[in-house]
Amino acid sequence: MISPDPRLTQTVLDACESLACYSEVAGEITRTYLCPTTRQVHAHLTDWASRLGMSTRVDAVGNLRSRLESRVPDAPTLYIGSHLDTVPNAGRYDGILGVVMGYALVETLAGQALPYSIEVLGFSEEEGVRFGVSFIGSRALVGTAEELLSVQDKSGQSVQDAVVGYGLDPQELLQARASGQALGYLEFHIEQGPVLQNLGAGLGVVSAIVGQNRLTLEFTGQASHAGTTPMYLRRDALAAAARFMVAAEDLARATPGLVATVGMVEARPGAGNVIPGAASCSLDIRHEHDDVRATALQKLLEVAQHEAQARQVSFRVVPHMTEAAIPMNTQFKALLHQAAGELGLPHPELVSGAGHDAQIMAQQMPAAMLFVRSPNALSHHPDEMVNAEDVTAALRVGVRFLEQLAETVGA
Ligand SMILES: [Zn+2]
């Protein structure tokens, strides 16, 4: 069993710290798709990769890709990665940690004769900040990025303009695809939530990336005088919406794993002495099993319909997004559990409530994620943290995973 050098944890933390300096906004960590400081991030990691004997290229959408070639002819490729872009005023670890972990694992295993090549992926875009679409980077690997080239940002610049402006060639999109035999994709990522902290575990194996619906519910009644209209003659749109909101919270609390959120609510005309004639609210509902989510959504829409009818309020739904859940690969999950188990580390399984590049890569190859505890559950925030001991544990599990994978490939 190979153990990572104890100093490697500090290397990982230092790399995250250094990369945080490359921001497009002074005094904060902000790196949107193909912003100029992306070049410095690439240069920093390319330098590390070359010291590890890896060859590095930047593909047509700006993904940084460093390969450690196996000495075995026609060996399959294991991809390890995450994203290099950030939300505005981000923390130091969301995305970056997963890329840095890839290089750190190669640093540990570079001298070994592996039966597979390793490609470390630093995706150029995952957060969807600049163009409002996510996963431009990973979608290029699975061949679904072309339709994104015409998407425009607020200034009217398209993804294609950004690509060309950065000096890349959109004609080379085909070469960005993951070609050859892929063994799978492994992503390390901070949890960005409170579950592992609550369980007292440093690491967690992701079972699935949740499926979700996002929609707006619109209730239309009749605005009228708050003093002169008796309760039995009202058509209060907000009262119907309020009943729906309470039902959403109740149902989610009563359904294991379900999360339902009403994050926006609007009442019109919006005066203290006027009965709301119109009300709208958002619904964001997520679960790791699509059937559970679909049944819950159906129930909630029935509640909304019922509460609207009871007040002679009309009701309609405006859907914005429906995404199916993406289960992680069973064999890769088992290897992660086995690795953590052998090392005596707790390895609970948990669902990812947020989207990740792994859900895109899973369309084409076995994909798995290992979550690293988020102290204080803080993420998308400059105070985002990781514990050094959890990074050490992730490195150890990662190395063991790679060793075990080598055994399965060699067998
Ligand atoms: Zn992320």
CA of 71 to the centre of ligand 1 (A): 33
Q: What is the CATH number of the domain that holds 275?
A: 3.30.70.360
Contact 385, 375 (CB under 8 A): yes
| Domain boundary pick from 290, 306, 323 | 323
Cα–Cα distance measured from residue 401 to residue 233, given in angstroms and rounded to the nearest whole number: 67
Confidence of residue 398 (pLDDT cuts 50, 70, 90): very high
Task: Give residue 239's domain range.
Answer: 211-323
pTM for the full model? 0.93
Indicate whether 329 and 301 sit together in one domain: no
Q: Is 184 helix (H, G, I), strand (E, B) or coil?
A: strand
Q: Would residue 155 count as lying in a domain?
A: yes
What does the buried/exposed string (b/e) look like for 155-178 if buried means 16 or more CB atoms within 10 Å of the residue's CB? eeebbbbbbeebebebeebeebbb
φ/ψ of residue 248, rounded to 5: -65, -45
- Least confident range of 72-76, 109-113, 122-126, 260-264: 109-113
Q: Report whether pLDDT(110) > 90.
A: no
CA distance 302 to 290: 18
> Residue 376 CB: number of other CB atoms within 10 A?
11
- Of 302, 323, 344, which closes a domain? 323
Rounded to the nearest angstrom, the distance between the alpha carbon of 340 and the centre of ligand 1 is 23
The yes-or-no verdict on residue 273 having pLDDT over 80 is yes
Once rounded to an integer, what is the mean pLDDT over residues 30-38? 97
Percent of all residues in the chain with a pLDDT value above 90, rounded to a whole number: 96
d(CA 30, CA 90): 6
CA of 354 to the centre of ligand 1 (A): 8
Instruction: Decide: helix, strand or coil at residue 298.
Output: helix
β-strand 203-209 against 349-352: which pairing, if any? parallel
Q: Which of 289, 305, 323 is the last residue of a domain?
A: 323
* Distance from residue 234's CA to the centre of ligand 1 (Å): 47
Can you tell me which residue has the tokens 């921001």? 23
Question: Do 114 and 261 fall within a single domain?
Answer: no
In this structure, the number of other CB atoms found within 10 A of the CB of residue 152 comes to 14
**Residue 116: which CATH number?**
3.40.630.10
Distance 290 CA to ligand 1 centre (A): 23
The 10s digit of each residue's pLDDT in 153-174 is: 999 999 999 999 999 999 999 9
For 190-244, give the DSSP string: E--SSHHHHHT-SEEEEEEEPEEEEEEEEEE-B-EETTTS-GGG-B-HHHHHHHH
**How remote is the CA of residue 361 from the centroid of ligand 1, in Å?**
14
Cα of 4 from ligand 1 centre, angstroms: 25
* Calpha distance 151→406 (Å, rounded): 41
Query: What integer pLDDT is reported at residue 1 of this predicted model?
Result: 83
Task: Compute φ and ψ for 402, nearest 5 degrees.
Answer: -65, -35
395 C-alpha to ligand 1 centroid (Å)? 18
Question: What separation in Å is there between the alpha carbon of 357 and the centre of ligand 1?
Answer: 8
Q: What is the DSSP letter of 287?
A: E
Residue 261, SS3 per DSSP = strand
Q: How far is the CA of 221 from the centre of ligand 1 (A)?
A: 42
Query: From ligand 1's centre to the CA of 74, what distance in Å?
Result: 32
Count of structural domains, the chain: 2
Report CA(194)–ligand 1 centroid distance (Å): 16
